[in-house]
Structure 1
Amino acid sequence: MLARAAAPAILLLFAWLPLFACAPVAHAGDQSIPASSEGQVEFNAPSGNIGCIYTPKGGTSTYSPQDGGPELSCSRVEPSYVTVVLGPEGPATLIKNPGEQSCCSDVDKLDYGNSWSQGPFTCQSSTKGLACTGSNGHGFFVSKAKVTVQ
């Protein structure tokens, strides 16, 4: 008798299984990276070869962007050390010999497939590299194979 009563419940369960199998899978998306007490945000690409620092408008007690900020600065270690700087106006600047080489400390990683946004800047991390743009339409792409600015 109990088996007959349980049969409709089991059939109902199997009827719902296809719906769960088709449920959307969570996709990567926006990633939040905490800022320091002065508003700077640091993150690296998962490879550890690219590291970025966002500095808010007005800078910090130890660093002031040349144009007052905000500013996004990303450095690539290999095959040659370069830095790309993007400000609120104008195209990104590629510095082929930045002198100071402090990249890439042990900070949060911007996971492949995820994006990060702060101020006027957005960066997208992928296995191909890191693409960052400003709200002014200028930006850059950094990877081990190449660096492009616009």
Structure 2
Amino acid sequence: MLARSAAILFLFAWLPLFASVPLAHAAEQGIPASADGQIEFNTPSGNIGCIYTAKGGTSTYEPKDGGPELSCSRVEPSYVTIILGPKGPATLIKNPGEQGCCSDVDKLGYGNSWSAGPFSCQSSTKGLTCTATNGHGFFISKAKVTVK
């Protein structure tokens, strides 16, 4: 009984030292831009892929309204694309026509986050959540897609 009490007192003596340690947050994962300035990443499953295009676009692609733009596509169970710009809600395209998603690019690891321009994304085993600084965004997974 005395040993148990001593162990409890020992733990409480150290507790204040850990009280100021912040809780673990998602690690910010840096993903390099390609030569044309776009940033591409996939979720670890390979089912969701995203392309960030900076304001002004590239020599071959200019986002609506000049950008910046975040476009993410899901392959299964049905191919969809979501486009998020710096203003207004995300646009869900249920039949985008072209289906070029998910080439061999960097993976945004589960539990990690990414950000560029006004956008940030959080990857988890449940799916990918992306938001713009204006509060609009989306959630995309194999099971569902929601936009706001």
Letter in 2 for 1:135: T
2:71 is aligned, of 70, 73, 90, to 73
**Partner of 2:5 in structure 1?**
none
Once the two structures are superposed, residues 82-121 of structure 1 have per-residue CA deviations (whole angstroms, 9 ceiling, x without a partner) of: 0000001000000000000000100000000000000000
**Partner of 2:3 in structure 1?**
none
**TM-score normalised by structure 1 residue count:** 0.82
**How large is the Cα RMSD of the aligned pairs?**
1.8
Q: Offset of 1:37 from its aligned partner?
A: 2.1
**Partner of 1:101 in structure 2?**
99
Q: Do residues 136 (structure 1) and 139 (structure 2) align? A: no
- CA radius of gyration, larger in: 1
Unaligned runs of 5+ in 1: 1-18
Q: Do residues 127 (structure 1) and 125 (structure 2) align? A: yes
How far apart, in 1, do the equivalents of 2:86 and 2:120 lie? 12
What is the percent sequence identity of the aligned residues? Answer: 80
The list of structure 1 runs, each at least 4 consecutive aligned residues, that deviate by more than 2 angstroms after superposition, is none
Unaligned runs of 5+ in 2: 1-13
**TM-score normalised by structure 2 residue count:** 0.83
How far apart, in 1, do the equivalents of 2:87 and 2:129 lie? 17
Letter in 1 for 2:82: V
